[in-house]
Structure 1
């Protein structure tokens, strides 16, 4: 049936002219091998029953590694039997040692459900396994069932990264039985742990290993991966372990057609619909992959409208759907109730969706790895299958339309992570301290980067150091809740404004671009218009509405070079790698009818997104600019086109999507004093993408020139210099100028790197980024300018005549009156007591001082005094110790608490007793008590000044340091 379908396609009048390549990949026979050690007798019997008595060579090699206690990663094609590689050693161990435990980690809940069924099917042939054998512990597990699982952990605990991060590691003390017996950790689809997600997971795994070690266990890791260039490097970067690689598959493969269609003439979307209609007519089970959520919805709607009765057997599928919606679609696809599903990358992973015939790729998926991964979803069970790649007007798509043979020769890309992204690292070190206090000398904290981050977090009040400086504790309970593994910022909810139901989630960076007020948003084939974007509650409110237009945001951007980390000469320019600060603002959006007609622009009032990241840039020498201007070429349009073309071709070199990158072209950058083209990681802190691109910089420039030069268009198009996500609507763009710039750079003389003017290293850098992590100073206080403490300071405390209750509340403190005010003068080194009639003298005294110190002085003492003297106390240079404590900790501590922990002293009375003494006329006792409070406050000020911290007892009854910097306060 597939052979006939491809034959008809090649002769179909409207499609045949667009066919640029057809290859047939022949079937391949399996290669078998036996493991070195025999299995438990029950395992042998099970394999014989299932007719799996022989393993493929890669399966045998992997299980041998695992059973010898060595960590391994298996990177072989889809449907090559990777499940058996981890299932067999685990089941064999459980038969021999029932108390053993295993952790199975899957990136998707649906994948966990699917693999649990596979494990249970295998275990159904075995006797004597622990009970329960396996259980899923995720967000859909009820509270009652979670408690049951914790109290009696199964042999195999199946979970996902988010639950490990949020629900298991923070509560490891309730999982002691599990961790004390943990022998295996299985990490499926490890290639998905790249970029931001992978950078987070590197710390989740380190936290896991740290807790395992605390319980005396060092489990064996088994990683399963799609075919990527660096599976061992990725697995090692994620865990810090030495990992063996198994990447030579012995599994069989069936015959497969691979067809490249250039969709530019009829339109890629219309071509996909025609192909899908023909497939449905032949009852071919089909999977269509699109590049965006919106396109998945639209293709599904348009195809269903043209499919007649078969339209009901088509469904969209994407991330953002509720779990029950996704599972229903998966079940319908497996059962055959659905003939076709139009999906984003959400169905790329190995969820069992049955045996499918045809895979249509609406646009190049962005990587060789993802293309073969998606293609591997069809043609299982020895059936002939077909994969059709429809080329969009996109740089990568058109590159392969013009060079299809390269697709089959290019090796898969390398997966990149950046565990030392400062925001991600800091957030997980805080989480680790909450999991279990961090000792200065433990392996987790031994690197210089971790030590530096620990000290920064201590200064910020995120961590609290023990009195002896040897241990760090989390300042707040459960900081894990503030850390999302899917991004470096918190998410926004998209709510149906009519029903009030939550339709999905979106990160803040995308929210500003896709769910701004007025944006058209698609969900499950329905059209919505965003009515409002509530920044305080992180909610976008969408109203169902049928409209005949779509929207596209416009942005403005600036970039600042914070640090140059590396540089090298290429052609007659210099390529730099460094740290950048990006400021991006969504300023307006344009409306276009569904046929593309421009309908106007609408301004927006959204705050700027400011973040630091890693990027590369190359400068354009003045001689090139001047020569272009002399030739009447549009220089700004040229560098803008270079930027777009470079970003468009970069996924050929780095495992990324162009949406993970940003760029900006500047005709005269103030720090380089010449034109520059910037490309940067679109994630705060960076994901390591541009670092890898820097290593292949010469190839990047050469490929960029090749793309522009080989494109047959005259003035520029999406295949070379136009970008679908350009914030200025691809204006200005000049393809010919871009071509000349790159040619003149290539043939120009090599030159020394230009000068880059960087901010002084001691100048603080403010970062306002879309995440819950506040910015960090780049140097500790001791690395900045020397401390200058005031020589003449005073310490003040007030006792009142009336209570808050007597005057009608704390907001009426100005009516409380004064029984006495005591001021310590650092020059006179004595204490002066002032009565209510002496307030003017006291004010004159305070005005002679460089600093006035108090405890709750701004919120209380000054308010009391303001009712007695006409003076603006806010004009005095004041240090409020309580205010500083509250800013650091997020909660208040009493003066008595701090005095006991820091000074070993305590108050001799309290405010209520002082009020009684006033009524009894015992003024001398009040003055004595007030003087003692001033002495204690002075002691705290001086201790913090000299040591850089105070001490207090936290809720766990540990004496810890509270970092203070009175200069900053």
Structure 2
């Protein structure tokens, strides 16, 4: 009744009633039921009925029977369609049959695991009263003593999250041997959230898990639970690299849902606040979804401040909050202490916060899938419910308002992951090798892209081959710790300037864009100004401060085409897709008033440029079109810039992506193409498959872009068509009319004569198959070693090597194949000889030998072409190895003495002994150099005491 009254209030409101773009009533539906064959075991069947489930829905039956057959299965049905029983029941059956069965449940949020544990315990307590099924949560909140107990006596069902699997289970798999040997099920809840960067990471985590399972002799069945997406089977298959059966027809009932599209001129945030207050007066339990963390905080703060009596009943909720803050909000919402929660997508998932009546979407969520997932949070108790989508000025929002029939009829988008992302692939291959050495013939390594990447990692030294070359080891013990699954870079901590307490976090890739010095950061209603960004320590310091403005970066970008995957004609133009290198330099930031968004000032910033490789597509604009437009006195740069903005704004119609996942650049004359171009690219290093997936729909993308520009009623451009809220140049220059004319000209055939003189793009040539990258072999080289008269202690430290003096220097000359010894007075003559060499080889020669020689001779030894083998080792490994270690393991030969003995011989006047020892060291250094030059590696014993190859290129 309260929802009906609320709808009447909206439709009769003097302002809202005139701006309702659509009001659709989605009728409820009856349940479709089924029967399992064979039925559930008696005790389990009784327990299910005891929970109030007399019969299963048809989709539950179909999924459970597929899982019983051992099929990897994905269930993609609406919110509240009983997906938990689909995986719990087969697991319980398997435990009844084989008590040493284990299942791994993965949830994207800790709160979901807590909900599921409570539900599973209610089910199992009725079935296994005498010998209960054990279930436990293993996450960051689990105390150390409980973790040890879980590892020692693993439960039947282990509930955890992707990070714990990645960081605490796979690296320590030996401690989980019992669990992994009996692992029969891997349940992945809310799998639609594993898209983009996170999904691409998880594709590799699942590959690593399967690899470890094979080692322990298990082959688990994967069960995926998802919201309704366009490609559930394809998505789950890409994630786990398995064939998957999809169950997509829901048999669950649904109550009547009202859906209103609201396009109010007063602004989405102000309209949302009015709707919140109206709902709270009627005591409707409300969830509000915002597109950004900043807007989430602002709406919660403004709504609470404008109605003081509601202040205690409303809160914000978003990622970046500390775990204990989020748990407290979830509890208060479930228990009715809160009436309204304003959230980012963090509460899109099925966390139990009680029955809700009203869902307010502040802006289109970016995908049809996310829209219906959020809408599914209300009306779950069988009552009628209402969803209100308030349009922002964004192009996609306005497009939905003017095409409501399309909005209500659109199929869900496809989820995109990119396991081929080379940045992420390298990180996880390193992790896999640390967990269990990679064997060249194993299934993972036989894939062409993986084998190619492994070869490059081995050559670079991030993976080290065994002495026989068959196994590959990581050169680090725990590379997992440097891989953040929810981003492409390291996480930055945001700390309070006064208390030094942690108040939030941000992904490293976004840190320079959101936490630069001067940036306004909002946390739980409090505004902070960032005073310091330490890129080395990955920390931002923020000062609590009340401000009346918000901040936004300004930047300029450049792009280079590294590789062309595909290219095809598009009207008069060409569209291409491939690898790009993007360079973005943040030049400053704007201060804008919160009210009215008036620009106050622009403050310069000096930050290092961000350079990354990614995937993208580009539209090549013929020179003839540019010439025509300029003859007509149209702004060509303003036109292509407007096309870029409009295309990015509409692109989420074609892929499950947020516009913040996508970047763009407009260039009036691109040097490689020889013409103007619009680039659209994945905004993450390595690419996440968004633009490559859209390439096949490029014609539809630019047709829809033209439609948005042409149909928008504004005259010069606005956020509903060609303005972008994240434009680094402040939406200048922008010419809406020029963009319309440009796209129409690209569709209209041009005379062949106009196109005949088009420049030919200069794309990078493919690398030749035999390109080894090895430097040329020097015609004449020397190997040098120096012994000193005085120790570091005697001259005041190693930094004063120039005062140590020379007792003997020995030089090997490859031209004469002879060793010569030089005393201190002969060093100038030796220096003249060294200048004739194509290469001087030594071990710690730059840091030590050259400094010693410089103290007795005025020659600049550091200008010589030099190979310092110790420096090369350190570059590869990050730590140093001794000459004796390398020569003994590589050549089977050891040093005859050391520097301390040589110092003692100098004091005894035994130059003959020094010369003999020094010559042997030079011979060892020469032989190591030749071995590495010819074979491409040296041998050493790593920290695990395994003999491995150290790749070298000299």
Whole-angstrom distance in 1 between the partners of 2:825 and 2:725: 74
How far apart are 1:785 and its partner, in Å?
5.6
Pairwise mapping of residues 769-808 of structure 1 onto structure 2 (< 5 A)?
Answer: 783-784=771-772, 787-808=775-796
1:939 aligned residue (913, 927, 931): 927
In structure 1, the residue matched to 2:683 is: 682
Whole-angstrom distance in 1 between the partners of 2:618 and 2:502: 41
Deviations 1:945-969 (A, max 9, x none): 1111111111222211111111xxx
In structure 2, the residue matched to 1:345 is: 345
* TM-score, normalization by structure 1: 0.96
* TM-score, normalization by structure 2: 0.98
Deviations 1:438-480 (A, max 9, x none): 0000001011111111111112211100111111001111011
Whole-angstrom distance in 1 between the partners of 2:133 and 2:765: 61
The yes-or-no answer on 1:953 pairing with 2:954 is no
In structure 1, the residue matched to 2:417 is: 417
Whole-angstrom distance in 2 between the partners of 1:812 and 1:388: 74
Deviations 1:912-939 (A, max 9, x none): 2222223333322221111111111110
In structure 1, the residue matched to 2:451 is: 451
How far apart are 1:943 and its partner, in Å?
0.4
How far apart are 1:805 and its partner, in Å?
2.4
User: CA separation of 1:462/1:328 partners in 2, compared to 1, >3 Å: closer, same or farther?
Assistant: same
Partner-residue secondary structure (3-state), 2:805: coil
The yes-or-no answer on 1:617 pairing with 2:614 is no
The answer to whether the Cα contact below 8 Å between 1:98 and 1:129 also exists between their aligned partners in 2 is: no
1:865 aligned residue (828, 839, 853): 853
In structure 1, the residue matched to 2:502 is: 502
Q: Give the count of matched residue pairs.
A: 948
The answer to whether the Cα contact below 8 Å between 1:463 and 1:474 also exists between their aligned partners in 2 is: yes
Partner-residue secondary structure (3-state), 1:413: coil
The answer to whether the Cα contact below 8 Å between 1:574 and 1:754 also exists between their aligned partners in 2 is: no
Partner-residue secondary structure (3-state), 1:530: strand
Whole-angstrom distance in 2 between the partners of 1:866 and 1:895: 23
The yes-or-no answer on 1:824 pairing with 2:812 is yes
Partner-residue secondary structure (3-state), 1:533: strand
Pairwise mapping of residues 274-313 of structure 1 onto structure 2 (< 5 A)?
Answer: 274-313=274-313
The yes-or-no answer on 1:711 pairing with 2:712 is yes
Partner-residue secondary structure (3-state), 2:233: helix
Whole-angstrom distance in 1 between the partners of 2:131 and 2:230: 39
How far apart are 1:559 and its partner, in Å?
1.0
Whole-angstrom distance in 2 between the partners of 1:114 and 1:429: 34
- Which has the larger displacement, 656-665 or 615-624? 615-624
How far apart are 1:515 and its partner, in Å?
1.4
How far apart are 1:144 and its partner, in Å?
2.1
In structure 2, the residue matched to 1:186 is: 187
User: CA separation of 1:785/1:65 partners in 2, compared to 1, >3 Å: closer, same or farther?
Assistant: closer
The answer to whether the Cα contact below 8 Å between 1:95 and 1:129 also exists between their aligned partners in 2 is: no
The answer to whether the Cα contact below 8 Å between 2:828 and 2:859 also exists between their aligned partners in 1 is: no
The yes-or-no answer on 1:168 pairing with 2:156 is no
How far apart are 1:80 and its partner, in Å?
0.2
Whole-angstrom distance in 2 between the partners of 1:785 and 1:55: 63
Whole-angstrom distance in 2 between the partners of 1:611 and 1:60: 48
In structure 1, the residue matched to 2:64 is: 63
Whole-angstrom distance in 2 between the partners of 1:806 and 1:69: 74
In structure 1, the residue matched to 2:822 is: 834
Deviations 1:188-245 (A, max 9, x none): 0111111111111110000000000000000011000000010100111011101100
Whole-angstrom distance in 1 between the partners of 2:858 and 2:270: 78
Partner-residue secondary structure (3-state), 2:620: strand
Partner-residue secondary structure (3-state), 2:319: coil
2:879 aligned residue (891, 903, 908): 891
Partner-residue secondary structure (3-state), 2:159: strand
Deviations 1:308-354 (A, max 9, x none): 31221011111110000011001110000000001111100111111
Partner-residue secondary structure (3-state), 1:896: helix
How far apart are 1:712 and its partner, in Å?
1.2
The yes-or-no answer on 1:573 pairing with 2:573 is yes
The yes-or-no answer on 1:852 pairing with 2:840 is yes
The answer to whether the Cα contact below 8 Å between 2:642 and 2:735 also exists between their aligned partners in 1 is: yes
The answer to whether the Cα contact below 8 Å between 1:369 and 1:413 also exists between their aligned partners in 2 is: yes
Whole-angstrom distance in 1 between the partners of 2:718 and 2:301: 28
Partner-residue secondary structure (3-state), 1:408: helix
The answer to whether the Cα contact below 8 Å between 1:646 and 1:701 also exists between their aligned partners in 2 is: yes
Whole-angstrom distance in 1 between the partners of 2:548 and 2:584: 29
The answer to whether the Cα contact below 8 Å between 2:487 and 2:508 also exists between their aligned partners in 1 is: no
The answer to whether the Cα contact below 8 Å between 1:94 and 1:129 also exists between their aligned partners in 2 is: no
In structure 2, the residue matched to 1:460 is: 460
In structure 2, the residue matched to 1:561 is: 561
Partner-residue secondary structure (3-state), 1:819: strand
Pairwise mapping of residues 45-124 of structure 1 onto structure 2 (< 5 A)?
Answer: 45-124=46-125
Q: Quote the RMSD (CA, aligned, Å).
A: 1.5
Whole-angstrom distance in 2 between the partners of 1:714 and 1:809: 74
User: CA separation of 1:128/1:820 partners in 2, compared to 1, >3 Å: closer, same or farther?
Assistant: farther
Whole-angstrom distance in 1 between the partners of 2:744 and 2:70: 55
Partner-residue secondary structure (3-state), 1:783: coil
Deviations 1:818-870 (A, max 9, x none): 22111111111111112223222222222222211111111121222222222
How far apart are 1:786 and its partner, in Å?
6.3
In structure 2, the residue matched to 1:774 is: none
Pairwise mapping of residues 293-372 of structure 1 onto structure 2 (< 5 A)?
Answer: 293-372=293-372
1:907 aligned residue (895, 910, 918): 895
The answer to whether the Cα contact below 8 Å between 1:19 and 1:259 also exists between their aligned partners in 2 is: yes
- Which has the larger displacement, 130-139 or 343-352? 130-139
In structure 2, the residue matched to 1:756 is: 761
Deviations 1:801-826 (A, max 9, x none): 22222333222222322221111111
How far apart are 1:594 and its partner, in Å?
2.1
How far apart are 1:130 and its partner, in Å?
6.1
In structure 1, the residue matched to 2:736 is: 735
How far apart are 1:885 and its partner, in Å?
0.6
Deviations 1:81-127 (A, max 9, x none): 00000111112222222211110001111111221111112122122
Partner-residue secondary structure (3-state), 2:825: helix
How far apart are 1:760 and its partner, in Å?
5.1
The answer to whether the Cα contact below 8 Å between 2:363 and 2:392 also exists between their aligned partners in 1 is: yes
User: CA separation of 1:505/1:478 partners in 2, compared to 1, >3 Å: closer, same or farther?
Assistant: same
The yes-or-no answer on 1:439 pairing with 2:439 is yes
In structure 2, the residue matched to 1:152 is: 153
The yes-or-no answer on 1:653 pairing with 2:654 is yes
In structure 1, the residue matched to 2:241 is: 240
In structure 2, the residue matched to 1:38 is: 39
- Which has the larger displacement, 691-700 or 93-102? 93-102
Partner-residue secondary structure (3-state), 1:124: helix
In structure 1, the residue matched to 2:633 is: 632
How far apart are 1:657 and its partner, in Å?
0.7
Whole-angstrom distance in 2 between the partners of 1:719 and 1:575: 25
Deviations 1:364-391 (A, max 9, x none): 0000000000000000121110101111
How far apart are 1:508 and its partner, in Å?
2.8
The answer to whether the Cα contact below 8 Å between 1:186 and 1:221 also exists between their aligned partners in 2 is: yes
Deviations 1:8-45 (A, max 9, x none): 21111121001111111111010111112232221011
The answer to whether the Cα contact below 8 Å between 1:433 and 1:473 also exists between their aligned partners in 2 is: yes
- Which has the larger displacement, 173-182 or 268-277? 268-277
Whole-angstrom distance in 1 between the partners of 2:343 and 2:303: 13
Name stretches of at least 5 consecutive residues in structure 2 with no aligned partner: none
In structure 2, the residue matched to 1:549 is: 549
Partner-residue secondary structure (3-state), 2:806: coil
How far apart are 1:745 and its partner, in Å?
1.0
In structure 1, the residue matched to 2:483 is: 483
- Which has the larger displacement, 10-19 or 142-151? 142-151
How far apart are 1:889 and its partner, in Å?
0.7
Whole-angstrom distance in 2 between the partners of 1:729 and 1:810: 54
In structure 1, the residue matched to 2:797 is: 809
How far apart are 1:292 and its partner, in Å?
0.9
Whole-angstrom distance in 2 between the partners of 1:511 and 1:920: 62
How far apart are 1:754 and its partner, in Å?
6.3
The answer to whether the Cα contact below 8 Å between 1:792 and 1:827 also exists between their aligned partners in 2 is: yes
